[in-house]
Amino acid sequence: MLKQFIDAHVHLNTTSRAKMELALKYNVSFLSINTDIPFFESLDDQKNTVLALQQEFPDRIIQITSFDTRYWNTEKWLPHALEQIKDGISKGAAGVKIWKNIGMDENVKDLDGNFVMLDDKRFDPLYQYLVDNDILLIGHQGEPRNCWLPLEEMTVDSDRDYFSGHPEYHMYLHPEFPAYEKQMEARDHVLSKFPELKYVGLHLFSMEWSIDEVAKRLKMFPNTKTDLAERICHVQLQAKDNWEKVRDFFITYQDRIIYGTDVIDDGSMSDDELITRFESLWQGHYDFFATGKTLTAPEFKGAFKGLQLPEEVVHKIFVQNAVDTYGFKIDRLTN
């Protein structure tokens, strides 16, 4: 493992010390992303939890703020959302997250009963505010494309197992929801309309199934970057079949790819389980990007080879790109 790195996509929703002591052990910093998820604590509680951790562990955590859809379809919505953003930024947040509930939540529809998509014009003042104030937007839109496929066509066992056990979330069974392609089109429309918007397309731009599609967006939208959170197994699957192509992708876009795990610390795991989760992911991911070892992944059958990326590329993915994007203190990280 690297002597120091940044896990730039986690959700630290408890004040437990275990993960912070682990961070000190491995010289890791975290980007904790506040998200308007129904089963998370409120956005205020998420923000306050991270602020408490930041006080006890200075320079170890940066957070991303967010906004909710309270007052949707009323004149109160935009002032309320902007106030949430302003408050989060004033307390040190490095950017704003917009989540997949835009486009996939039955409670976020227009007055005619249509799902509200990311390119709904009512979001335009919000995007313009971010551009005018040089504020970063990070986005998770849609689900993995597997969510819209029948079980037998899904590419990784983890998705197949999850959606077979949760048919209510399996979009293939719910054609009344907007299609995967519509989710991606709406996101692309926003980036085309606001080319100066600084944007990180989380989860490989929500296009984890094809590094070609990710590369296409990075070319189309030069102010954007992407992260790897919870989608590395999809990259590994592609490396199994076309190692050189995947390796070339990471070398070509080495300045625009950010490492993260998407570990959720919500109290559902014991301290030991949480530590084991972090350690196994960090080591396994490092082995994939930095070594030429023959590896396997629990999400699919078969072996694949580590990418053995140049040292400077590994450093950018695990450290420098998060420093440049989110403002982590580079003086501590390079000592």
Q: What is the pLDDT of residues 200-234, one digit of tens each?
A: 999 999 999 999 999 999 999 999 999 999 999 99
**Residue 335: per-residue pLDDT:** 39
If you average pLDDT over residues 302-331, what whole number do you get? 95
B/e letters for 302-316, b = 16+ CB within 10 Å, e = fewer, are eebbbbebeeebbbb
Structure tokens, 287 = 């082995």
| Span 286-304, pLDDT tens digits | 999 999 999 999 999 999 9
Are 187 and 141 in contact, with CB atoms under 8 Å apart?
yes
Residue 308 pLDDT > 70, yes or no? Answer: yes
Residues 84-140 pLDDT 10s: 999 999 999 999 999 999 999 999 999 999 999 999 999 999 999 999 999 999 999
pLDDT of residue 334: 47
Q: Compute the distance between CA of residue 304 and CA of residue 146 in angstroms, rounded to an integer.
A: 21
Measuring CA to CA, how many Å separate 103 from each of 47, 106, 135, 140?
A: 24, 8, 23, 11
What confidence score (pLDDT) does residue 218 get?
98
* pLDDT confidence band for 144 (50 / 70 / 90): very high
Give the long-range contacts of residues 326-335, CB within 8 A, separation 24 or more.
Answer: 326/8, 326/31, 326/62, 326/64, 326/94, 326/95, 326/136, 327/62, 327/94, 328/6, 328/29, 328/62, 329/59, 332/59, 333/4, 333/6, 333/27, 333/29
Measured in residues, the chain has a length of 335
Mean pLDDT value across residues 261-265: 98
Q: What is the largest CA-CA distance in the chain?
A: 57
**Do 38 and 287 form a contact (C-beta atoms < 8 A)?**
no
Model confidence at 68: pLDDT above 60: yes
Report pLDDT for 40: 94
Query: Residue 283 CB: number of other CB atoms within 10 A?
Result: 11
**pLDDT over 70, % of the chain:** 98
What is the distance between the alpha carbons of residues 229 and 191, in angstroms, rounded to a whole number? 21
Give the confidence band of 331 by pLDDT, cuts at 50, 70, 90.
low
The helix (H) or strand (E) run that includes residue 68 is none
Edge-to-edge strands of the sheet including 61-66? 257-258, 224-227, 199-201, 137-139, 96-98, 61-66, 28-33, 5-12, 263-265
Closest by CA to 225, choosing from 207, 199, 203, is 199
Does the CA dihedral 101-104-106-109 come out positive or negative? positive
Phi-psi region of 289 (alpha: psi -120 to 50; beta: other; left: phi over 0): alpha
How far apart are the C-alpha atoms of 247 and 203, rounded to whole Å? 18
Instruction: Give dist(CA 141, CA 101) in Å, integer.
Output: 8
Q: How far apart are CA 86 and CA 92, in angstroms?
A: 10
**pTM value?**
0.97
Rounded CA-CA distance 5/24 in Å is 11
E strand spans, 159-298: 199-201, 224-227, 257-258, 263-265, 294-297
- The mean pLDDT value for 34-39 works out to 93
Q: Is the pLDDT of residue 15 over 50?
A: yes
Q: How much of the chain exceeds pLDDT 90, in percent?
A: 96
Domains and CATH numbers, the chain: 5-333 (3.20.20.140)
What is the chain's mean pLDDT, rounded?
96
Q: How confident is the model at residue 157 (pLDDT cuts 50, 70, 90)?
A: very high
